[in-house]
């Protein structure tokens, strides 16, 4: 059987538009940082952790697929590889955070009015929470992720030419073998970038929480992409409703997983009510922050859970894409809810750079992904399991 | 621009990377029936009787220990303040965890469309039931007067207005475990019905035919029966999946909702679930290796099955290790002196430190051998490793329960703990109970889901047929 596709050379218009939006958005955000440093930096951190989380989670999902030796997903694997390959871009996009660390993280130069006990605790954490080590750690996170995504993308595209089955074996081995490392990377990245915003607070499950939301968004993007990527040389034309159904099931599973992790953290901290843990929720359960939390409970769990129970919806690409789009939005609200109360504990704060950062970082990510895609097939044309994937049917 | 890309031949039936089949040899429905039902009809061998005698002897320990516990009360155990919980809850959690593999294999792997589950699901589901029975014994007898336990554990409309403490995860445990047991029993029995009908149809005596006939509930294998059966099976799989998570999550809440150093940590729910699956697979492996040999199941429980199970153990073992890393890191990062002391002083250097280090060796180091294919395919290695993992997971619960309790906040309240002979007999006795039930299961019920194996064989044959017709009829063309 043959798959009649050429190497992808399209997407120029989208790449230019996304790139332009990214440059303008990023430029505006940098201007915002110059004008209103702290608010703009916190907004930027929300956008950065949103898009970087998706890049890291794409890599993890790809590696999970390889570790499981999943065959049905071969036809939708290439966009995932490209999304994972965007991780290198975030090295550059991390620079504003490094430059503005003293405005974001109170542990960089603790204020004397924090109290003696807090200062003592921060002194205890100093071997971990210090600027050079923070930067080195983030460098390690990126090195690991870039290495893994580069190898997997490289082997996969090389197979497009050679059809060598051994390249599949290598991808599977690296996928399984690299998972423990990437699991630690995303967990400690969550601790560093997000949890240390409240340096006295801690939660062992926090890394898993960040992962859960990010992988949910990755699957959501994959669903939207699959729906949109139809036309000349694009993989979407080869994706059947059976694949879409599986993506819908994955989305449903990770909606449940996010809910499970969120409840685990909330319930255990709420019920123990310890002074060192509960402030995280006290701030978020108070005053105008309450509606945001309630919105997340319904928007991030109950509404998509109810919608995705429908088999019919999961097998209707356009309707599934609507739920996926909704989840992409609520994940952004989730990260906003994680980050912003540190800066504005009394009420939700909206700064215009939240929009510019979202489109700035996002636009550049999308443009970069399209650029990486160009010159390659949009599906792994010589993967030994492509035929199995194309003929996949629900049992 | 390159030329149109051509995908490989597109052979659906042979895997170019791992061509090993899930059913070895040339099989027909008849040969599968014969080989998989054979062990039920043949007389019990000497080996079975020898194992059964040992299991019964251990069960005898349970009877003695239970009698002493009921006559003397739980004062016969080694529990005492500060270690108010010990062997009872350790064994409860250990057994419940072991049961999880059955539900995972039968339900979650079904939803994941993993065909290799068909040869091991019956075996693992039976294990779930027996493990949960052993587990349930402990909360029942720890009440001291188990004949009153129903009043204390179950909410019923008492005229005195006395209710269980609904805020306590121990009460949630009652709901979670009893639901889990009910669904697991239904799932196991439903899967058995077509096989019981096969036993009925091939039974050699009238008594056997009558008994198996009653159990088969009038199964005739009609199209309508199969359609209803498939729906019910999928529905129960869907119901069982959240139960796998909920049961051990609530078990973890028994500890994590408190403020005890070493207990209160938010990673506990997923980390307990991973640990449960880890130990459950290890127990399946411990029994499966000898069973496939002695019951003649090697053609359906192949090395590929065992290798996959080892991979699941490696994955869940890594998740457990992840939990340990997070716990230790946050114990330091939090700056909480009690958490730090618990993880870095008491556990690693305290009087019970050997159990902690044994846990690390068994749960963290041992599964690493499964990175190597040679180790994953060695029966001796995987059998020893599975036993070590079971030991390690028991040690983990000992570390969490006893080591945390014997060194809490106040040095003045510190104490020590040693089990009494009654504790040890109770634990040994539940292993005897489990082994007795399991040996009876192996004797009277097909250990492998015969119907599902036959279905898998038909599916494989069907795929090969389509493949042959496609290869013969289609040359080139585009998708």
Condensed to tens digits (0 to 9), the pLDDT of residues A307-320 reads 999 999 999 999 99
- Which pLDDT score, from 0 to 100, does residue A127 have? 97
Asked if residue B5 has pLDDT above 50, the reply is no
SS3 of A2, please?
A: strand
For residues B430 and B130, is the Cβ–Cβ distance under 8 A? no
Q: Which two tokens stand for residue B32?
A: 């599968």
For residues B40 and B199, is the Cβ–Cβ distance under 8 A? yes
User: Which candidate from A2, A207, A274 shows the least CB-CB separation from B7?
Assistant: A2
A–B interface: beta-carbon pairs under 8 A: 145
SS3 of B80, please?
A: strand
What is d(CA B375, CA B310) in angstroms, rounded to the nearest whole number?
A: 9
- Which pLDDT score, from 0 to 100, does residue B152 have? 76
Which class for B274: exposed (0-12), middle (13-18), buried (19 or more C-beta within 10 A)? buried
Q: How many CA atoms lie within 13 A of B104 on its CB side?
A: 24
Contacts of B371 in chain A (CB under 8 A): 177
Is the Cβ pair A202, B330 closer than 8 Å? Answer: yes
> What is each CA distance from A387 to A160, A269, A393, B476, in whole angstroms?
14, 49, 12, 13
Asked if residue A259 has pLDDT above 50, the reply is yes
What is d(CA A201, CA B275) in angstroms, rounded to the nearest whole number?
A: 27
Q: How far is A65 from chain B (nearest CA, A)?
A: 12
Q: How far is B389 from chain A (nearest CA, A)?
A: 19
Asked if residue B289 has pLDDT above 90, the reply is yes
Q: What is the dihedral of CA A298, A302, A305, A310, to 10 degrees?
A: -110
Confidence band for B464, pLDDT divided at 50, 70 and 90:
confident
Contacts of A160 in chain B (CB under 8 A): 5
Average pLDDT of chain B is 88
Residue from B9, B11, B266 whose CB has the most chain A CBs within 10 Å, to mutate: B266
* CATH code of the domain containing B226: 1.20.1630.10
User: Which candidate from B113, B266, B477 shows the least CB-CB separation from A204?
Assistant: B266
Q: Which residue of A has its CA nearest to B321?
A: A180
Of A338, A256, A196, A274, whose CA–CA distance to B263 is shortest?
Answer: A274
In whole angstroms, what separates CA A324 from the centre of its chain?
A: 14
Contacts of B470 in chain A (CB under 8 A): 1
Of A193, A240, A245, A200, whose CA–CA distance to A214 is shortest?
Answer: A193
Q: Which two tokens stand for residue A68?
A: 């499981």
Residue from B254, B334, B339 whose CB has the most chain A CBs within 10 Å, to mutate: B334
Whose tokens are 């619960």? That residue is B397
SS3 of B12, please?
A: coil
Of A165, A131, A171, A134, whose CA–CA distance to A151 is shortest?
Answer: A171
Q: Which two tokens stand for residue A81?
A: 């590889």
Residue from B1, B3, B4, B8 whose CB has the most chain A CBs within 10 Å, to mutate: B8
| b/e sequence B185-220, b meaning 16+ C-beta within 10 Å | eebbeebbbbbbbbbbeebeeeebeebbbebbeebe
- Which pLDDT score, from 0 to 100, does residue B428 have? 97
pLDDT tens digits for A335-369? 999 999 999 999 999 999 999 999 999 999 999 99
Q: How far is B2 from chain A (nearest CA, A)?
A: 6
Is the Cβ pair A1, B477 closer than 8 Å? Answer: yes
Is the Cβ pair B12, A269 closer than 8 Å? Answer: no
What is d(CA A390, CA A240) in angstroms, rounded to the nearest whole number?
A: 8
Contacts of A73 in chain B (CB under 8 A): none
A2 strand-pairing partners: B6, B478
Q: Which two tokens stand for residue A273?
A: 């009510």
In whole angstroms, what separates CA B251 from the centre of its chain?
A: 15
Q: Which two tokens stand for residue B309?
A: 């199970």
Confidence band for B476, pLDDT divided at 50, 70 and 90:
very low
What is d(CA A127, CA B269) in angstroms, rounded to the nearest whole number?
A: 29
B102 falls within a domain: yes
CB atoms within 10 A of CB B50: 10
The contacts of residue B326 (CB under 8 Å, 6+ apart) are A187, A204, A205, A207, B265, B267, B271
Is the Cβ pair B270, A184 closer than 8 Å? Answer: no
Domains of chain B: total: 1
Asked if residue A226 has pLDDT above 50, the reply is yes
Q: How far is A29 from chain B (nearest CA, A)?
A: 33
First and final CA of chain A: distance in angstroms? Answer: 23
- Which pLDDT score, from 0 to 100, does residue B108 have? 81
Which class for A175: exposed (0-12), middle (13-18), buried (19 or more C-beta within 10 A)? buried
Contacts of A265 in chain B (CB under 8 A): 266
Give the Cα-Cα-Cα angle B87, B90, B96 (nearest 5 degrees).
Answer: 130
Q: Which two tokens stand for residue A390?
A: 């194309």
ipTM above 0.85, yes or no: yes
Q: How far is B270 from chain A (nearest CA, A)?
A: 8
Give, as one character, the DSSP assignment of residue B43.
P
What is d(CA B269, CA B172) in angstroms, rounded to the nearest whole number?
A: 14
SS3 of A381, please?
A: coil
B477 falls within a domain: no
The ranges assigned to domains in chain A are: 12-390
% helix, strand, coil for chain A, step of 5: 80, 0, 20
Q: How far is B8 from chain A (nearest CA, A)?
A: 6
Is the Cβ pair A3, B6 closer than 8 Å? Answer: yes
Q: How many CA atoms lie within 13 A of A43 on its CB side?
A: 26
- Which pLDDT score, from 0 to 100, does residue B477 have? 37
For chain A, what's the residue count? 395
Q: Which residue of A has its CA nearest to B109?
A: A68
Q: How far is B227 from chain A (nearest CA, A)?
A: 14
For chain B, what's the residue count? 479
- Which pLDDT score, from 0 to 100, does residue B474 have? 43
For residues B106 and B237, is the Cβ–Cβ distance under 8 A? yes
B16 falls within a domain: no
Asked if residue B12 has pLDDT above 60, the reply is no
User: Which candidate from B12, B245, B329 shows the least CB-CB separation from A387?
Assistant: B12
- Which pLDDT score, from 0 to 100, does residue B256 have? 96
The phi and psi torsions of B156 (rounded to 5 degrees) equal: -135, 155
pLDDT tens digits for A172-207? 999 999 999 999 999 999 999 999 999 999 999 999
- Which pLDDT score, from 0 to 100, does residue B116 have? 84
Q: Which two tokens stand for residue A186?
A: 């995303």
The contacts of residue B290 (CB under 8 Å, 6+ apart) are none
Contacts of B256 in chain A (CB under 8 A): 268
User: Which candidate from A4, A179, A204 shows the least CB-CB separation from B265?
Assistant: A204
For residues A8 and A233, is the Cβ–Cβ distance under 8 A? yes
B278 falls within a domain: yes
Is the Cβ pair A204, B264 closer than 8 Å? Answer: no
Of A358, A273, A257, A271, whose CA–CA distance to A305 is shortest?
Answer: A257
Is the Cβ pair B2, A6 closer than 8 Å? Answer: yes
Contacts of B478 in chain A (CB under 8 A): 2-4
Is the Cβ pair B266, A395 closer than 8 Å? Answer: no
Contacts of B270 in chain A (CB under 8 A): 205, 208, 260-261, 264
- Which pLDDT score, from 0 to 100, does residue B473 have? 53
The contacts of residue B87 (CB under 8 Å, 6+ apart) are B77, B78, B79, B419, B423, B424, B426, B427
User: Which candidate from B2, B8, B474 shows the least CB-CB separation from A163?
Assistant: B8
Contacts of A127 in chain B (CB under 8 A): none
Contacts of B4 in chain A (CB under 8 A): 2-6
pLDDT tens digits for B392-422? 999 999 999 999 999 989 999 999 999 999 9
Q: How far is B209 from chain A (nearest CA, A)?
A: 34
The contacts of residue B430 (CB under 8 Å, 6+ apart) are B62, B91, B95, B134, B137
Give, as one character, the DSSP assignment of residue B6.
B
Q: Which two tokens stand for residue A381?
A: 């044309």
Percent of chain B with pLDDT over 90: 57
Q: How far is A32 from chain B (nearest CA, A)?
A: 34
CB atoms within 10 A of CB A288: 11
What is d(CA B240, CA B108) in angstroms, rounded to the nearest whole number?
A: 8
Is the Cβ pair A268, B5 closer than 8 Å? Answer: no
Q: Which domain holds residue B81?
A: 29-459
Of B403, B65, B423, B111, whose CA–CA distance to B243 is shortest?
Answer: B111
């Amino acid at each position: 059987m043959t798959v009649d596709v050429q190497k992808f050379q399209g997407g120029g218009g989208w790449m230019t538009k996304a790139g332009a939006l990214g440059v303008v958005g990023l430029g505006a955000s940098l201007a915002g940082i110059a004008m209103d440093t702290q608010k703009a930096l916190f907004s930027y951190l929300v956008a950065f952790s949103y898009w970087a989380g998706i890049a890291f989670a794409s890599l993890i999902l790809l590696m999970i697929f390889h570790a499981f030796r999943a065959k049905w997903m071969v036809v939708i694997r290439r966009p995932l590889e490209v999304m994972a390959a965007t991780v290198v871009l975030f090295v550059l996009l991390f620079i504003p955070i490094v430059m503005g660390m003293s405005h974001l993280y109170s542990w960089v130069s603790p204020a004397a009015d924090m109290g003696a006990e807090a200062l003592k605790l921060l002194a205890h954490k100093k071997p971990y929470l210090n600027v050079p080590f923070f930067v080195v750690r983030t460098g390690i996170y990126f090195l690991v992720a870039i290495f893994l995504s580069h190898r997997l993308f490289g082997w996969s595209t090389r197979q497009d030419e050679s059809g060598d089955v051994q390249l599949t074996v290598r991808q599977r081995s690296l996928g399984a073998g690299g998972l423990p490392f990437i699991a630690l990377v995303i967990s400690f990245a969550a601790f560093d970038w997000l949890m240390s915003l409240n340096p006295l607070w801690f939660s062992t499950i926090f890394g898993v929480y960040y992962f859960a939301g990010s992988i949910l968004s990755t699957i959501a993007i994959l669903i939207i992409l699959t729906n949109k990527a139809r036309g000349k040389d694009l993989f979407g034309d080869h994706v059947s409703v059976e694949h879409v159904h599986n993506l819908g099931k994955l989305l449903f599973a990770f909606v449940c997983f996010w809910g499970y992790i969120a409840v685990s953290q909330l319930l255990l901290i709420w019920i123990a009510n310890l002074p060192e843990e509960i402030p995280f929720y006290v701030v978020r359960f108070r005053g105008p922050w309450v509606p945001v939390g309630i919105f997340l409970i319904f928007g991030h769990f109950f509404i998509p859970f109810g919608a995705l129970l429908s088999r019919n919806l999961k097998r209707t690409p356009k309707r599934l894409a609507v739920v996926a789009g909704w989840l992409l939005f609520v994940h952004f609200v989730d990260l906003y809810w994680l980050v912003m109360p540190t800066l504005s504990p009394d009420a939700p704060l909206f700064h215009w750079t939240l929009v510019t950062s979202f489109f700035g970082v996002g636009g550049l990510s999308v443009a970069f992904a399209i650029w990486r895609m160009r010159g390659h097939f949009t599906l792994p044309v010589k993967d030994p399991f492509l035929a199995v994937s194309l003929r996949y049917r629900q049992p | 621009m390159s030329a149109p890309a051509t995908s490989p031949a597109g052979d659906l039936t042979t895997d170019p990377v791992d061509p090993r089949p899930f059913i070895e040899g040339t099989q027909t429905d008849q040969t599968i029936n014969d080989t998989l039902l054979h062990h039920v009809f043949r007389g019990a061998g000497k080996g079975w009787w020898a194992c059964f005698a040992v299991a019964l002897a251990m069960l005898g320990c349970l009877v003695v220990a239970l009698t002493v516990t009921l006559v003397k009360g739980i004062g016969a155990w080694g529990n005492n303040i500060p270690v108010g919980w010990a062997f009872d809850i350790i064994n409860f959690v250990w057994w419940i965890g072991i049961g999880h593999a059955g539900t995972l294999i039968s339900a979650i792997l079904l939803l994941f469309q993993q065909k290799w589950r068909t040869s091991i699901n019956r075996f693992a589901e039976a294990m779930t039931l027996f493990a949960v029975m052993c587990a349930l014994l402990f909360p029942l007898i720890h009440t001291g007067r188990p004949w009153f336990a129903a009043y204390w554990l179950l909410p019923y409309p008492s005229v005195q207005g006395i209710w269980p403490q609904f805020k306590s995860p121990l009460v949630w445990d009652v709901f979670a475990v009893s639901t889990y047991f009910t669904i697991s029993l239904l799932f196991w029995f439903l899967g058995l019905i077509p096989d019981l009908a096969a036993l009925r149809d091939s039974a050699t005596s009238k008594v056997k035919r009558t008994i198996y006939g009653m159990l088969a509930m009038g199964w005739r294998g009609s199209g309508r029966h199969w359609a209803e059966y498939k729906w019910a099976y999928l529905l129960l799989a869907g119901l069982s999946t959240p139960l796998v998570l909920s049961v051990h999550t609530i078990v973890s809440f028994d500890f994590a909702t408190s403020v005890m150093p070493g207990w209160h940590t938010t990673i506990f729910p997923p980390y307990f679930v991973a640990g449960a699956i880890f130990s459950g697979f290890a127990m399946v492996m411990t029994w499966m290796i000898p069973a496939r040999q002695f019951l003649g199941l090697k053609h359906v429980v192949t090395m590929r099955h065992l290798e996959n199970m080892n991979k699941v153990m490696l994955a869940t073992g890594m998740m457990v290790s992840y939990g340990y890393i997070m716990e230790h890191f946050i114990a330091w990062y939090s700056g909480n002196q009690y958490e730090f002391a618990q993880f870095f002083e008491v556990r690693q250097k305290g009087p019970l430190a050997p159990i902690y280090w044994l846990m690390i060796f068994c749960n963290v180091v041992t599964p690493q051998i499964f990175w190597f294919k040679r180790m994953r395919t060695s029966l001796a290695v995987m059998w020893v490793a599975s036993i070590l993992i079971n030991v390690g997971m028991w040690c983990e619960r000992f570390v969490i329960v006893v080591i945390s309790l014997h060194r809490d906040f106040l040095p003045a309240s510190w104490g020590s703990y040693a089990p009494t002979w009654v504790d040890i007999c109770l634990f040994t006795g539940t292993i005897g109970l489990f082994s007795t039930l399991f040996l009876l299961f192996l004797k009277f019920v097909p250990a492998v889901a015969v119907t599902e194996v036959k279905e898998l064989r038909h599916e494989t044959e069907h795929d090969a047929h389509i493949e042959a017709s496609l290869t013969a009829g289609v040359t080139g063309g585009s998708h």
